[in-house]
Amino acid sequence: MKLGKLLDTDRILLDMKATEHLPAIIELVDLLTERGDIPKSSYDETLKALEEREALISTGIGSGVAIPHTFSDAIDKVVAIFGRSKEGINFQALDDAPVHLIILFIVPSKDYQLHLRTLAAIAKMLTNCEVRRRLAAAATRDEILEILDPKPVRTGADKEPC
């Protein structure tokens, strides 16, 4: 699963407005609905599913990253959106740190294996300190897409540790 292929510049928010967990999810789902990626008729159902998932345990995985996700019968392909908050969002993350990078995705209900592969690909990419640093510093949506396109990430002794 190539994360960069799930997104385009219209599915990237460089500066999220929300400062709390559920409002952040609503902000991202609103944009997906406005774009037509999620049918308006399934908006409430999608939000409810995401909220129920978050009630189990926060998808704030630590290191400033959250990966909210759910299933939907209303779509036939994976839908994803990237959001960044410079101030940080209280996402009730596992490490209690503010979240700065969010990738929310929704998978067709019939594709459980695709859900697991997508989640694994996103988590693998965003556990890389250099990737997170570059995403935080990116000035444009195009830069974000370039970073999320799976290419070798340069690391070196001149970089600060995470």
Find the CATH number of the domain harbouring 99.
Answer: 3.40.930.10
Give domain status of residue 156, yes or no.
Answer: no
Question: Which residues, 6 or more positions from 113, have their beta carbon under 8 angstroms from its beta carbon?
Answer: none
Give domain status of residue 154, yes or no.
Answer: no
Of the candidates 21, 69, 100, 115, the residue annotated as catalytic is: 69
Q: Is 115 a catalytic residue?
A: no
pLDDT one-digit tens code per residue, 60-112:
999 999 999 999 999 999 899 999 999 999 999 999 999 999 999 999 988 86
Per DSSP, 90 falls in state B
pLDDT one-digit tens code per residue, 113-134:
777 778 888 888 888 999 999 9
Element (H, E) at 29: helix 21-35
Task: Determine the structural domain holding residue 11 and report its residue range.
Answer: 3-148
Cβ-based burial of 110 (10 A; exposed 0-12, middle 13-18, buried ≥19): exposed
Query: How many domains would you assign to the chain?
Result: 1
Give domain status of residue 157, yes or no.
Answer: no
d(CA 76, CA 93): 30
